[in-house]
Each structure stands twice: as C-alpha cells, then as structure tokens.
Amino acid sequence: MLTNGPGAGRAGGAPPRAPGAKPPRFGLSGRGWLLWLIGLLIFNVVFYGSDLKSSGNGPTVTLPYSTFVAQADAGNIKTATISSSTAAGDFRKPYKDPANGKTYTRYTSTLLPIADPNLANTLTGHQVEVTGVSSAAPLWLTVLGLVLQALPFLFFIGLIYFGMRAARGQQQGIFGFGKSKAKLYSEERPGTTFADVAGVDTAKSELREEVDFLRDPAKYQRLGARIPKGVLLVGPPGTGKTLMARAVAGEARTPFFSISATEFVEMFVGVGASRVRDLFDKAKASAPCIVFIDEIDAIGRRRSSGGPMGGGSNDEREQTLNQLLSAMDGFEPNEAVIVLAATNRPEVLDPALLRPGRFDRQVAVDPPDRQGREAILRIHTRNIPLAADVRLDTLAQATPGMSGADLANLANEAALGAARTNRSEVTAVDFDTALDRITLGALGGALMGEDERRTAAYHESGHALVAYLLPNMDAVRRVTITPRGRSLGVTQFLPLDDRRNYPRDYLFNRMVVGLGGRAAEEIACDQITAGAQNDLQGVTRIARAMVTQLGMDDELGPAVFGADESGLNGSPYATWEPKEYSDDTARRIDAAVHRLIDEAHQKARALLGANRPALDAISNALLHEETLNLEQIVALVREAEVGAAS
C-alpha cells in the first residue's frame, strides 16, 4: 500500500445551567422541597400526634372529672399536676377501669371550664402532692405547633404547585415548537479566544474587524460605516469553523447564540419560521451579540423553481429560509448583531442568502499548513507531558492535509497509548503509533505466510526505491510490512512542504512511485498480486485529472473535459455534470490516460531493473526487520551501489 500522508478529517457544550437563570434557593430544587414537605408531614403524624400531655411511666387512663373527684375523696390520688385545663398524676393504688377491666397506675383528666373552689381543699385534705404548671407554652413550641398543624395544608398546596408546573412543561412541549432552541453563552462565562485557535491566521485577521465593531460600534457608526451583518465561514469539515465563531464571541465578550440549522425545521409547517423570528428577537434584545448558525446549508439550499409552470415551492424548509432572509434584511444599522454561519458546501446556498446586506463576506477556513499544524499541536499538547524526543515540527511535517480536529485526535490517541503502558510522559513512539492507528488502522491483521511476506516486502521496497531514485519527490519516512487494518504493508512519505501547485513532472513521478510496487512484483516475483489495488486507483485518478482537468496531455492540449472529480484542484464537492464532449473525444481521453499510465509503468520497471541489487537489499532487510526508516534505506542503497561498482 502507498500513502503520501493522511487525508483531511473532521472538525475540531452547553453549560450546565442557562446563563441568567436563577439558581435554586438554598441549594434545593423543586424535588428537594417536596421531599422536605413529606418528611415534615411524617414528623407531624408520628410525633405531634402522639400523647405529649403526660409524663412519667406506666399505663395512663383518662378519667371524667367526676371520677377524678371521687378518687380524690376516696384518698386514691397520690400526685396531681394542675394546669388551667388539665390534671394529671399517679394513683396510690392501681385503678381498675370498670369499662374495660384494665388496671392503670396513672391518670389524666380535663377540668371544668368554671373554677371548682373545693378541688384544692379536697386534694390537700387527702395529702395529695399538688404541683401547678403555667398555661403559657414557650414561644418556640407554640410556633412549632402551628407549623406542624399547617403541614398537611402546605403539603397539598405543594402537590398542586408541582402538578401545575408539570402541566406547563407538557404544554410547552406540545405548543412550544416555535421557541428557538439556540444555546446562549453569556459574556460572563469564560469562553474561547483567538489564542485557542491556530492554523487559520488569514481567517482570524478578517474576523478581528468584527470583534472590534462589537467592542466599539460607535467608532464605525460616527463615520457612517456599516459593519457586515453576516459572515459566512467556508471550509472542509474539521477545520475549526465553529471554534472560530466561538473565538469571535470570546474576544468581543458578548453573548453568543449557537444553533444548528437542522434545529429550525420540524414536521409542523411554520415551526422553522417561528423559531427564526424568536431567535432574532432574542438576539436584538441581547445586542451587541453574535448569532452562529452551524451547517446553514440544511435550510439555506437554493430554492426550487417550482417546475415548468414557474410556481414557487411551499415546503417547510423554504418557508424557514424565507423568514431567515427577511430577518437578516430587517436589521437596523445601529443594531450590533452579527450573524456568523458555517458550511462546507457554499455552492448549494441560495443566491439571495449570499447577496450584500445579508452575508456580505465569505471567510475561507482552509486546512492548516505545516506551520499552522505545528501551532495546533502546541495548543492540544499544552496539558500533556511530552518526552524530550517529541518533535512537534516533525509531526507537523508528517501530517499534511490533517485538520485541527484530526490533530486534536492525534494528541489524544498518543496520550491514551502512553496511559495504556503506564508511562508518565508521552513519547515520540506514542505519536507514531497513534498516527498509524488513525491513518492505517489498528496494529495486527491477517497472518501472512512466507510467500506473502516476501511479495509484500518487494512491493513496498519498490515504492521506496523508486521514490528515492526520482528527483524532487517526497522523502520516504518509513517502510513496513507489519499488517495494519486491511493493508499488508505501507510506505509512508514525509513531504518537504505543503504543495498548493502541482508541476507536471511531480504528478507524473507520483504515478511512477505508485506503480513501483507492481513493477517490483513483476521483476522479483514473476507474478502480480491484488496488493496494488489502491495504488492503481490513485494512479488512474491522477492520470485522468492530468488529462481532463489540468490540460497536461500533449495531444488533447490545454482543455477541461467534464467536472472536477479528482480532488487535486477545485472543490471536492463538485456535483455531476452532463458530458460536454463527443464520443470520439472520450476515446481520445481514455487513450491518453492509458498512455500516461503505461509510460509511468515502464519508467518504474526501468528504474528497478537498473537497481536490482538495491531492491533485493531493501526487501531482505524488510523481511528481517519488518520496518525501515529513511536513514536505513539510504544506507542499504549506497551499500548496494558500492557492491555493484566493485
């Protein structure tokens, strides 16, 4: 398998409580207060409802006042504690209740509402130990009694309140579709700044003007200037468009409304338009602020023409788009509200959305170059303990085409690998292993026999040797025949620099390197295998792009035939276009493609045939070591050249 570095990857929360929302009082939620009410009600039933009027031990009987007086006259009352309304105490002899036949040692009785002047004489005459108590209870006990008595009422009030609250929540779930689902990040919350974004210096410089306007709008307004209302961030997935939008809000210290375009549209007609209105109403109320709409192509696609009759479409998505167009066009110049949107498919957006006055600017957020990748790696490794052998500049050189999200994933995978082996620092080996895991798959695969190992060794040696012999080609970083994922071997390259313009010789030499594995099999193994499948796909794609898109064929000349499907130039998201050339031209294109591939194949065979000792030396070393680096390959080639000369 031949690889020239990893491809572009994907891009790289909501607060626990919405900013501005009041925290629960005393740290308790509604459920916590309900539990407290239930606990107090149980306390009321268990303790307050118990008999607290008597003290002491023994069974107690409640006597009618007449029986109490009769027992006193009979001399059977030993002690009496008298209050304004009750009398309680002990019998001298156990009292047998005639009603149930049980025996009691204590009594309690309710006194008459009118004073009995003979009661005191009767008790003292029979030598009863009389004690008087105040009728007024302590204030805290009185308040506690009132609270406990009111608990049942408060409990049912609480049930009614929480029931009504739940009903309102259900009502909002049914009838609240028109409310915006945008998440609000307030200026008080620590946010992302431009210091957290690297590798997109051009985009940052363009967005600094938006930050300056949000910080000091009067600076521009007094000169009659109008800041762009909308800025469209355009770039492949994973390049940091969302991160850039949050950095703008963090630098400006303004509220930041974030929503995905897919959250506008529901199955009910009119819901998306209502959510757009609600979002912009909130934004105007919070101005100056930023509204960020991610994946805007979900609602901003080009509107249909309505068919041959010319009528417009009336579906929910287009109604939402119409409302968005109206909302953006309705901003007043003094309303400091900026709309940021992100997409990786700008070509599908409606022209009305991109006109001046709505999205005035398009800011390209491209994959980072080598210096940008190094800066991104420094950000993502600042909290990771790195060993002395880790070279971030070398890692940046080995990861062409990787986005910020890919590099963040690389740093995380390296840290995970170091943790699995219980190391205290992340080493260069951990980063190499993580890079292989991301680009090639997990270590291990189908076991190879000796014939397969020999074929794989010659195949990868062919790639490496041809790349070494050709001028101005990317240096070989490593060659291995250790199975990873579905590949039996890999040749990795270390580009000298990121290329934005491809010379014809460089593209042709890439084809020669790609066919070096197949040529080595033909020369050394006298057969061809299926291991060159990926190589042949890449070679054919380059050859067809050279002929149909880049005008690099002498016979067909500088012309473009059909849409760009190569990914080497232009947008990788180009849509299908009908064929705009004749069948004869198509045959000439096919012939030119085959001619380029055959020339590259013959050149690879010639180079390997003339350097057969070096090919054998690299293959034998791979069979023994399984992995070789650039220095080892150079040493083997030079040793083979010396041996051939002698």
Measured CA to CA in angstroms, residue 640 lies from 43, 269, 610, 618, 633 at distances of: 94, 75, 12, 9, 11
Backbone angles phi, psi at 236, to 5 degrees: -65, 165
346 and 295 in contact (C-beta within 8 Å)? Answer: no
From the list 445, 426, 425, the residue with the least C-alpha distance to 437 is: 445
Q: Which residues are catalytic?
A: 460
pLDDT of residue 309: 45
pLDDT of residue 293: 87
From the list 360, 310, 311, 309, the residue with the least C-alpha distance to 333 is: 360
pLDDT of residue 168: 53
Residue 273 has which token pair?
A: 């338009």
pTM: 0.61
Residue 24 three-state SS:
coil
pLDDT of residue 450: 84
The span from the CA of 422 to the CA of 390, in Å, is 18
pLDDT of residue 388: 92
Q: Which residues of the chain have pLDDT under 50?
A: 5-27, 48-55, 169-178, 187-188, 190, 267-268, 307-314, 565-576
Burial 38-63 (b: 16+ CB within 10 A, else e): eebbeebeeeeeeeeeeeeeeebbbb
pLDDT of residue 76: 87
pLDDT of residue 505: 92
Contacts 24+ apart (CB under 8 A), 132-141: 132/81, 132/82, 132/83, 133/81, 133/82, 133/83, 134/83, 135/83, 135/84, 135/85
pLDDT of residue 171: 42
pLDDT of residue 190: 45
pLDDT of residue 443: 67
Q: Write out the DSSP string of 108-135.
A: EEEPPSS--HHHHHHHHHTT-EEEE--S
In the chain the first and final C-alpha atoms are separated, in Å, by: 34
pLDDT of residue 174: 39
The span from the CA of 561 to the CA of 344, in Å, is 25
The span from the CA of 259 to the CA of 14, in Å, is 11
378 and 329 in contact (C-beta within 8 Å)? Answer: no
Give the HSE-up count for residue 154: Cα atoms under 13 Å, Cβ half-sphere: 16
